[in-house]
């Protein structure tokens, strides 16, 4: 899993996002948002502060999840991550 968390961090850094990101923490937060959801595609939103929030798309399958996209909103600036690219 450590490689997976590192990949999340790398993709987010490659988006140009200048802030600190912890792949494990991000993954855990997303899992908390989708807990008890049925299979399907969902939009999630995680508020980090008054000026920073994450919004993205995730697909839930029987035995797996697929992080599709993530937009990190920092004030007026948006950093886009396509995890499938």
User: Residue 71 has what pLDDT?
Assistant: 98
pLDDT tens-digit series, residues 20-74: 999 999 999 999 988 889 999 999 999 999 999 999 999 999 888 999 999 999 9
pLDDT for the residue numbered 50 = 94
Burial class (CB in 10 A: 0-12, 13-18, 19+), 56: buried
pTM as predicted: 0.90
Which residues constitute the domain of residue 74? 2-82
Query: Which residue carries 């995730």 as its tokens?
Result: 58
- Say what the pLDDT of residue 37 is: 92
Number of compact structural domains in the chain: 1
Q: Which residues contact 73 (CB under 8 A, 6 or more apart)?
A: 52, 53, 54, 55
């Amino acid at each position: 899993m450590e490689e997976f968390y590192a990949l999340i961090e790398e993709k987010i850094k490659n988006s140009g996002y200048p802030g600190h990101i912890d792949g494990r923490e991000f993954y855990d937060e997303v899992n908390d948002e989708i807990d008890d959801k049925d299979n399907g595609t969902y939009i999630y939103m995680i508020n980090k502060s008054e000026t920073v929030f994450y919004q993205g798309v995730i697909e839930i399958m029987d035995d797996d999840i697929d992080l599709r996209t993530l937009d990190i909103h920092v004030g007026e600036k948006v950093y886009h991550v396509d995890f499938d690219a």
